[in-house]
Chain A
Amino acid sequence: MLKVRIIPVLFLMNGNIVRSEGFEHFKIIGNPVSELARYSQWRADELIYIDITRDSEYFVQRQDHKDRIASDLLSIVQQIADHASMPVTFGGRIFNLAHVDSLIANGADKVIVNTGAYRDPSLVSAIARKYGSQAAVVGIDLKRDGGGKLVMHVEQGREAVTDDCVDYARRMEQAGAGEIFVNSIDRDGSSRGYDIAAIRSIADAVRIPVVACGGVGRFENFAPAVRDGHASAVAAGNIFHFTENAYPNAKRTLKRQGVNVR
């Protein structure tokens, strides 16, 4: 039977791997290519790299400066893809097909689009048409408001939108997304566990795989996303960066809790 995937998420900022906490604070913890060796040794199922560089470089008007940033990222993508013997997904500030073309030409297997898909759903269809649905992952960032209601956000958590996330997930599936990545940004870095209800409401509404993210602090937090949340894959950032032998321990814990993993 198909195994549940355990996917480390790595955040890239200005070419370094960083830890995030609630999308507000960042700390450099490593270099993308050497981190890959660690995950390869752990036989990680898959990797997701998200570029969260959102500061002024991307808004500078000088084209040559923008191009240098872009080519630095692409050369990182290339180095990662050349050494990765498992699928790698890249994301972060993807707003047009040309950017996707560059990432895939440099070795990305899948791309994840968040704000870009929200602003222009036809981007998802374009990716699916050109590379297949499996290459188009749509990310949905969620926060619960004071009353506990799920609010979808874009722009790396800075802008709340009124779309219902379940309805949005369905529309993205229809647009051609091959996978939905559900991220609880208020639980990010908090170690409170996944937002199971949010994951489940989306997973139950679509027939494509759903990846859970946001909130893992203990290895025991993974299993509920599958058992109760109906996720096909469990993702996390911090726990894999800070705990010794985190990946094998995550796998062991999931197995012990009866989840079918590799």
Chain B
Amino acid sequence: MIGIVGYGVGNVRSVLSALQRVGASAKVFENPSEIAAFDKIILPGVGAFAPAMEQLNVLGFRDALDDAVKVRKVPLLGICLGMQLLADKSMEFGEHSGLGYVPGVVRKIPINGDLRLPHMGWNDLTVLRSCPLTQDLSGETSCYFVHSFALQAENPDHVVATTDYGGPIVSVVRADNVYGTQFHPEKSQDNGAKILSAFVKL
């Protein structure tokens, strides 16, 4: 059973629907103590970094996640803001600490010329290293992105895929049992379904 962290941030319905579409059993949980029941966790997220981290802390998810991820080594997938929360810190509206599961800093996407923010729409993934989540992707690899900040991973080995928007931005990360997608796989049709399916099958 996959547990989707219900911390009041992000559209958990879409993630739940998408998981159901690929035949996975999933449940949104709002009580951190329920985390022990799940063999995989998804951390969704939409909006700003600081309020999301505050919610995780205030609701008591921090310790529960640390235990699940670092001790039980349960696979965790961070989606969009959820991926950014995996970082050491973010520079959005000040400097704020993250979960620290994927070393790195979240910064505003550097744009120039004609590029606009948020980076919104379908963009391709360039897969740099093999990873179970992306192994079924081939040919057309676009996924739906919507964000203005991106994770700059400290360890290049954690970068599974990048996406070009004024230069490469990190689009998929993996650090051991922790995975992250900057795009929304639940809103990325067949490519998104492949990625979610692969996560389910881990």
Contacts and interface: CB of A to CB of B under 8 A. Distances in A.
A106 B165 CA distance: 31
Interface stretch (B33-41, B71-79, B112-120, B127-135): B112-120
Given A1-B165, A130-B47, A135-B46, A87 B144 contact: yes
A86 interface: yes
Nearest to A78: B13
Given A107-B13, A132-B46, A208-B116, A85 B18 contact: yes
A85 B123 CA distance: 16
Given A81-B13, A85-B18, A109-B11, A134 B142 contact: no
B70 interface: no
A2 to B, nearest CB: 5
B121 interface: yes
A56 to B, nearest CB: 32
Interface residues of B, number: 36
Given A134-B118, A134-B120, A83 B17 contact: yes
Nearest to A204: B114
Interface residues of A, number: 35
A155 interface: no
Interface string A16-31: 0000000000000000
A1 B123 contact: yes
B187 A87 contact: yes
Contacts of B165: 1-2
B121 A45 contact: yes
Nearest to B189: A85
Nearest to A232: B116
Interface SS, B side: mixed
A109 B187 contact: yes
Contacts of B144: 46, 86-87
Interface in B146-165: 146-148, 164-165
Given A2-B165, A43-B189, A85-B189, A109 B120 contact: no
B11 to A, nearest CB: 7
Contact of B116 (A4, A107, A209): A209
A111 interface: no
Nearest to A1: B164
B119 A2 contact: yes
Contacts of B116: 206-209, 232
Interface string B166-187: 0000000000000000001011
Contacts of B17: 81-83, 107
Contacts of A131: 46-47
Interface string A199-219: 000000011110000000000
Contacts of B122: 2-3, 5, 45, 262
A185 B14 CA distance: 33
Contact of B14 (A109, A232, A262): A109
Most B CB atoms within 10 A — which of A82, A85, A179? A85
A111 to B, nearest CB: 12
Interface in B99-123: 114, 116-123
Given A5-B122, A85-B187, A109-B187, 19 more contacts: A2-B119, A3-B121, A45-B121, A45-B122, A46-B121, A81-B17, A86-B188, A87-B144, A107-B17, A130-B47, A132-B46, A132-B47, A133-B148, A134-B147, A178-B118, A209-B116, A209-B121, A232-B120, A233-B121
11 contacts: A1-B164, A43-B189, A81-B14, A86-B188, A132-B46, A134-B120, A178-B118, A208-B118, A209-B118, A232-B120, A262-B142
